[in-house]
């Protein structure tokens, strides 16, 4: 291992307690999470993180010697400030490793009511220059999250000019069409019902648009001649997995992955991919770019781009054909338990008897074959396991440790 290089933190999203658990086991050094009232990502399904279970989530991470950063990064109204003050005691008791914020009013509340907790400054503050970093350093920030609108050379200059504060950069995930997420399109298009900077973005940039001429109301013109309109505002996803060496060499403290509303499979697989890439570089001084890319295309994406990292993005940085992320490999099931030689699984996408599937765990990745499928009572064999079924399966090759194991389809489809 190159002892001269500082080991960066791999920071994963934790949209729920379960995702937190999987993210850490698949390689995260730290996770960030938000309570439902104060987060820029309002979860609409699954277990919400609230003031009542926040302490349990943080305790779980701390039991594995990992860190948790609490996001209070909404742009707050007075009602939000009042609610935050009332919740401050719960936050202090939960003891997160840092609080992430973007609003100056929230900063005042943190300093007054949660002053013992370190604070990080969110990318929502649009930190683009060394003087802005110095400003927050002098106010006591432990870390700043740099804007996604910076190039490698600009990041390098900031690191050189301000060496005495931690820097965090986004390395993977969805990008916003606006300046580091400060967008009002959702507010406008939903008549204020879905406020982007209040945790409820409708992702209007992912909608399909057509052109209308003002004197020809009701007559819509395709922007592209494909009959389906076009997603003119929808950026491709950021992927810097093959440029991590440059960021490691700069001494960037934290590599952040976006996706608190993404699936359990996404969080697990992307953590595994980036963990391996970082460790490979620190250990050998090299990374396998082809293997890295072949791994991340198996995970949901809208096509990949390097964003502003190498140059200002052009038309190639947008996903015009579709807004929904497509995975190159479908997650088939999550392993729940084992009885004798049978594994209890929760099916995410249907699979058939005799299918070849791929198993991933925190330590393994291999192909195997489905030899038998039983119902949830293990008293009836089946030809397939349907979506949302609880089934028992027998495999030709088994994971050394089934806990946290996932199964997915073999190979790559939906290549963007």
* Domain limit, last residue, from 247, 282, 317: 317
- In the numeric block, which tokens belong to residue 248? 């490691």
And the tokens for 108?
Answer: 């005042």
Predicted confidence at residue 345, as pLDDT, reads 98
| Cβ–Cβ < 8 Å for 235, 242 | no
CATH number assigned to the domain comprising residue 351: 2.40.30.10
Residue 416 within a domain: no
Name the one residue in this structure whose structure tokens are 């936050």: 91
268 & 357 share domain: no
Domain boundary among 188, 221, 254: 221
> Considering the domain boundaries, does residue 230 fall inside one?
no
Q: How far apart are CA 185 and CA 36, in angstroms?
A: 22
Positive or negative torsion for Cα 94, 97, 102, 104: positive
Q: Same domain for 56 and 89?
A: yes
Number of structural domains found in the chain: 3
Task: Find, among 279, 268, 241, the residue nearest to 359 by Cα.
Answer: 268
> Which of residues 263, 285, 317 is at a domain's end?
317
Biggest distance spanned by C-alpha atoms of the chain? 72
Q: How far apart are the first and last CA of the chain?
A: 35
pLDDT in tens, the chain (416 residues): 555 788 999 999 999 999 999 999 999 999 999 987 776 555 555 567 888 999 999 999 999 999 999 999 888 999 999 999 999 999 999 999 999 999 999 999 999 999 999 999 999 899 999 999 999 999 999 999 999 889 999 999 999 999 999 999 999 988 776 655 666 666 656 766 776 666 667 777 667 766 676 777 777 655 554 545 566 667 788 999 999 999 999 999 999 999 888 899 999 999 999 999 999 999 999 999 999 999 999 998 888 888 889 877 666 666 666 656 678 899 999 999 999 999 999 999 999 999 999 999 999 999 999 999 999 999 999 999 999 999 999 999 999 999 999 999 999 986 65
- Answer whether 138's CB lies under 8 Å from 224's CB: no
Domain identity same for 195 and 252: no
The CATH number linked to 266 is 3.20.20.70
What is the model's pLDDT at position 53?
93
Q: Is 3 part of any domain?
A: no
Q: Are residues 339 and 398 in the same domain?
A: yes
363 & 400 share domain: yes
Residue 279 lies in a domain: yes
| Residue 210 lies in domain | 179-221
Residues 267-284 as b/e (b if ≥16 CB within 10 A, e otherwise) read bbbbbbbbbbbbebbbee
pLDDT of residue 225: 42
Q: Are residues 206 and 254 in the same domain?
A: no
Q: Are residues 122 and 264 in the same domain?
A: yes
Residue 337 lies in a domain: yes
Residues 131 and 248 in one domain: yes
Question: Do 59 and 200 belong to one domain?
Answer: no
- Are residue 281 and residue 145 in the same domain, yes or no? yes
Question: What tokens were used for 135?
Answer: 């400003």
Whole-angstrom distance, CA of residue 6 vs CA of residue 11 = 15
Q: What is the pLDDT of residue 103?
A: 93
In a domain, 4, yes or no: no
Q: Residue 287, Cβ neighbours under 10 Å: how many?
A: 20
The pLDDT of residue 215: 75
Query: Does residue 90 belong to any structural domain of this protein?
Result: yes
- Given this model, what pLDDT does residue 260 score? 81
Residue 367 lies in a domain: yes
pLDDT of residue 415: 63
Q: What is the C-alpha separation between 151 and 75, in angstroms, rounded?
A: 26
Whole-angstrom distance, CA of residue 362 vs CA of residue 152:
31
Residues 99 and 245 placed together within one structural domain of the fold: yes
Residue 52 CB-density burial (10 A; 0-12 exposed, 13-18 middle, 19+ buried): exposed
Both 153 and 290 in one domain: the answer is yes
pTM of the model: 0.87
Q: Tell me, letter by letter, the H, E, C secondary structure of the chain.
A: CCCCCCCCEEEEECCCHHHHHHHHHCCCCEEEECCCCCCCCCCCCCCCCCCCCHHHHHHHHHHCCCEEEEEECCCCCHHHHHHHHHHHHHHHHHCCCEEEECCHHHHHHHHHHCCCCCEEECHHHCCCCHHHHHHHHHCCCCEEECCCCCCHHHHHHHHHHCCCCEEEEEEEECCCCCHHHCCCHHHHHCCCCCCHHHCCCCCHHHCCECEECCCCCCCEECCCCCCCCECCCCECEEECHHHHHHHHHHCCCEEEECCCCCCHHHHHHHHHHHHHHHHHHHHHCCCCHHHHHHHHCCCCECCEECCCCCCCCCHHHECCCCCCCECCCCEEEEEEEEECCEEEEEECCCEECCCEEEEECCCCEEEEEEEEEECCCCCCECCEECCCCEEEEEECCCCCCCCCCEEEECCCCCCC
């Amino acid at each position: 291992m190159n002892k001269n290089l500082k080991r960066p933190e791999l920071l994963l999203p934790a949209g729920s307690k379960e995702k937190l658990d999987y993210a850490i086991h698949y390689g995260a050094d730290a996770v960030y999470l938000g309570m439902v009232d104060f987060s820029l990502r309002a979860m609409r399904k699954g277990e919400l993180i609230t003031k009542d279970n926040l302490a349990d989530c943080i305790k779980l991470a701390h039991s594995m010697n990992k860190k948790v950063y609490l996001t209070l990064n909404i742009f707050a109204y007075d009602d939000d400030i009042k609610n935050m003050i009332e919740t401050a005691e719960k936050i202090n008791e939960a003891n997160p490793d840092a609080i992430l914020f973007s609003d100056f009013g929230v900063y005042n509340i943190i300093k007054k009511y949660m002053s013992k907790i370190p604070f990080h400054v969110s990318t929502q503050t649009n930190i683009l220059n060394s003087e802005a970093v110095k400003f927050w350093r002098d106010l006591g920030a432990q870390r700043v999250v740099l804007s996604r609108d910076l190039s490698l050379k600009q990041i390098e200059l900031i690191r050189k000019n301000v060496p005495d504060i931690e820097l965090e950069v986004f390395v993977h995930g969805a990008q916003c069409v606006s300046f580091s997420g400060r967008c009002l399109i959702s507010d406008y298009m939903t008549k204020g019902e879905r406020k982007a900077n209040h945790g409820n973005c409708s992702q209007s940039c992912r909608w399909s648009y057509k052109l209308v001429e003002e004197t020809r109301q009701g007559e819509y013109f395709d922007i592209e001649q494909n009959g389906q309109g076009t997603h003119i505002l929808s950026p491709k996803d950021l992927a810097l997995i093959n440029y991590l060496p440059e960021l490691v060499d700069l001494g960037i403290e934290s590599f952040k992955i976006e996706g608190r509303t993404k699936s359990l499979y996404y969080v697990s697989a992307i953590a595994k991919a980036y963990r391996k890439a970082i460790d490979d570089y620190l250990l050998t001084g090299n990374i396998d770019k082809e293997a890295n890319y072949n791994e991340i295309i198996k995970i949901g994406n809208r096509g990949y781009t390097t964003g502003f990292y190498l140059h200002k993005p052009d038309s190639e940085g947008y996903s015009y054909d579709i807004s929904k992320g497509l995975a190159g490999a479908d997650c088939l099931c999550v392993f729940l338990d084992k009885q004798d030689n049978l594994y209890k699984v929760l099916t995410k996408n249907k699979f058939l008897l005799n299918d070849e599937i791929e198993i991933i765990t925190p330590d393994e990745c291999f192909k195997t074959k489905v030899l038998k499928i039983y119902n949830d009572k293990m008293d009836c064999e089946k030809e397939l396991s349907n979506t949302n079924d609880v089934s028992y399966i027998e495999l030709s090759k088994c994971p050394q440790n089934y806990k946290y194991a996932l199964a997915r389809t073999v190979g790559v489809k939906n290549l963007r």
